[in-house]
Amino acid sequence: MPRHRQRAAAAAFLLLAVAALAGCDKIKSKQAIKRGNEFLKAAQYQAALAEYEEALRLDPKETKLHKHIGIAYMGMYQPGSKHPKDLEYAQKAIDNLKQYAQGYPEDTKALEYLVSMYLNTERYDDAITFYQNELLKRNPKDAKAMQSLAMLYFKKGDFDNGVLWLKKRLEVEGNNPEVYYLIGVQAWDRSYNYPNLDPALRAKIVDEGLQSLNKAVELKPDYFEAVSYINLLYREKAKMETDPAKKQEYTDTANKYLQQALEMRKAAQEKAKAAEASGKATPEPGK
């Protein structure tokens, strides 16, 4: 056989061998993924991780494995721990989930895992950046993302930005009483748990909370939870007041709203019981 034909035949044989080997590696990768999934279900995270990493080594194109690897590291991480090993696991979980999210942005569950890791490690700024640069850029009217951003700011102690994002949610959804209620709840939380705030700032927060709760009740008259928080915010006003007469006035107002909330709650419970009894008494079709 001429030498050039020998070379061509050898090259063809080599290509077939490489293709066969690649096919074999893909099969082995699938088998490793299956074993990894079984380990993951059994909460054997280190064993699952080893299988997933081997599967990715065998088939680097299996990029969906970054989600599995991230979840395995999540399982190995102890929330709240500052141990170097746990911080390493947390970082590797975040890195793999971010890499997966870039390739598969439609997988909302993976995004939730990523955000939960940011929260577990108290990396609120990273979570905020992720929501603003990833989720809201894809969908500027994502009310759920706005809600999450607001709660992240509240966790940081940034009341103003928290309210700002809840108001952005209102721009998307319209007058949603739940959003006004959340502003009121956060106003009470800020005043009650941080009594050493600047008095003027604390008073401003309480007043904003009252305005929002009154709006919630205006939109939903039977909103007894909102009425209950109006009671609590008037008690915060009473704490800040130095004039005895005004202090008593705020306390009396708080008691009035407390009684109103209790009556509204009782009425709601009775209505629910009546509806349940009516449903049970209704005969089934054909009976």
The string of pLDDT tens digits covering residues 31-52 is 999 999 999 999 999 999 999 9
Residue 118 within a domain: yes
The answer on 205 and 114 residing in a single domain is no
In a domain, 137, yes or no: no
Burial of 266 by CB count in 10 Å (0-12 exposed, 13-18 middle, 19+ buried)?
A: exposed
State residue 153's pLDDT score.
Answer: 94
**Same domain? 263 vs 182:** yes
- By C-alpha distance, which of 243, 155, 153, 249 is closest to 193? 155
Both 181 and 89 in one domain: the answer is no
pLDDT band at 5 (very low <50, low <70, confident <90, very high): low
Query: Which two three-digit tokens encode residue 154?
Result: 């509240």
Domain count of the fold of the chain: 2
Q: Are residues 198 and 263 in the same domain?
A: yes
Lowest mean pLDDT, pick from 74-78, 102-106, 123-127, 264-268: 102-106
Verify that 118 and 190 share a domain, yes or no.
no
Query: Do 117 and 179 lie in a common domain?
Result: no
Q: Which of 122, 151, 186 is at the close of a domain?
A: 122
Q: What CATH number is given to the structural domain containing 44?
A: 1.25.40.10
What's residue 287's pLDDT? Answer: 43
Pick from 30-34, 36-40, 126-130, 274-278: least confident? 274-278
Q: Does 194 share its domain with 267?
A: yes
Q: Which helix (H) or strand (E) holds 261?
A: helix 244-281
Last residue of a domain, one of 122, 137, 166: 122
In a domain, 164, yes or no: no
Average pLDDT in the 254-258 region?
A: 97
- Out of 20-24, 166-170, 181-185, 210-214, pick the least confident: 20-24
User: Tokens standing for 99?
Assistant: 């890499």
Indicate whether 63 belongs to any domain: yes
pLDDT at 187 over 90: yes
* Each residue's pLDDT tens digit, 192-237: 999 999 999 999 999 999 999 999 999 999 999 999 999 999 999 9
Look at residue 254 and tell me whether its pLDDT is greater than 70: yes
- CB neighbour list of residue 148: distance below 8 Å, 6 or more residues apart: 115, 131
Is the confidence at residue 2, as pLDDT, over 70? no
Identify whether residues 191 and 105 lie together within a single domain. Answer: no
* Candidate from 121-130, 161-170, 190-199, 200-209 with smallest mean pLDDT: 121-130
Q: Is the same domain home to 182 and 267?
A: yes
Burial class from Cβ neighbours inside 10 Å (0-12, 13-18, 19+) for residue 173 reads: middle
What tokens appear for 197 in the block? 């705030």
pLDDT in tens, 259-274: 999 999 999 999 888 8
Cα–Cα distance, 48 to 36 (Å, whole number) = 4
Q: What is the mean pLDDT of residues 110-137?
A: 88
Res. 275 pLDDT band, cuts 50 70 90 = confident
Please state, in angstroms and rounded to a whole number, the distance separating the CA atoms of residues 214 and 227: 8
Choose between 102 and 183: higher pLDDT: 183
User: Does residue 128 form part of some domain?
Assistant: no
Q: Is position 170 within any domain?
A: no
Within this chain, do residues 115 and 193 fall inside the same structural domain, yes or no? Answer: no
| Enclosing domain of residue 31 | 26-122
Name the domain boundary from 77, 98, 122: 122
Query: What is the average pLDDT across 16-25?
Result: 53
Asked whether residue 187 falls in the same domain as residue 106, the answer is: no
Dig out the tokens for 177 from the structure: 């009483």
For residues 61-69, average pLDDT = 94
* Sequence-ordered list of residues with C-beta below 8 angstroms from that of 97, at least 6 positions apart, any chain: 66, 67, 70, 110, 113, 114, 117
Phi-psi region of 157 (alpha: psi -120 to 50; beta: other; left: phi over 0): left
For residue 14, is it within any domain?
A: no
Whether residue 16 lies inside any domain: the answer is no
